Amino acid sequence: DAAIVDGTAHLTSLFWGMLAEGTWRDARGRNLLDGGCPYYAVYETSDGGWMAVGPLEPHFYAVFVSLLGLDADELPDRADPSNWPALRVEFTTRFRSAPRARWTAVFEGTDACVAPVLSLHEAAGHKHLTARGTYTEAHGVTQPAPAPRFSGTPGTLRRPPAVPGAHTCDVARDWGVPDLLKDHC
């Protein structure tokens, strides 16, 4: 027996562990990794773009704050969640002061754990993903390349995207679903 919910449950092991140790509150938007923490969030820029922020470790946070042009000694203690609203105001104000391209240039190549939020088209054209061949264009459609890519495995797609329902009968035969074959094929 296999169900996607079982796999999904395993992906939440970190959060169950944090809940058990008392470092996770069972409420949305109140925790380190669920949007509650101001230094693990996204911020709008002056041009309507967005920047993703995630400097969880103290040394990354120090670089982040410095590159934002803030003085860490003048900011509230980030470890105290009661200070998170004030920190969020500071970060929101700062990011809204310049366009996404400017912030991208400021943080590029640093250890601040900050990156622009890209559209699907921007992501597919990003230099790191292009170098890996993460996306491919096949049959007039940009899409994720086959993965995993083993040696000797073609890295291209052999067929265009399927039209919904086009392969129902083939799949039903492969899976041995006689009722579906009887009704549709």
What top-level class would CATH report for the domain 35-117? Answer: alpha beta
pLDDT for 138 equals 82
Max Cα–Cα distance, the chain, nearest Å:
72
pLDDT for 153 equals 58
Instruction: List, as one string, the DSSP characters of 113-179.
Output: -EEEPPPHHHHHT-HHHHHHT-EEEETTEEEEPPSS--TTS--S-SSPPPPTTTTHHHHHHHHT-HH
Question: What confidence tens digit (pLDDT) does each residue in 36-50 have?
Answer: 999 999 999 999 999
Contact predicate 45/100, CB 8 Å = yes
pTM: 0.75
d(CA 141, CA 147): 17
pLDDT for 173 equals 77
Instruction: Phi first, then psi: give them for residue 32, nearest 5 degrees.
Output: -60, -40
pLDDT for 148 equals 77
d(CA 69, CA 110): 14
Give the residue ranges of the chain where pLDDT is below 70: 151-159, 180-181, 183-184
pLDDT for 177 equals 74
Ranges of each domain in the chain: 1-30, 35-117, 122-184
Contact predicate 55/39, CB 8 Å = yes
pLDDT for 156 equals 59
Single-letter residue type at 105: A
* CA nearest to 87, candidates 49, 26, 40: 40
d(CA 115, CA 41): 11
pLDDT for 129 equals 93
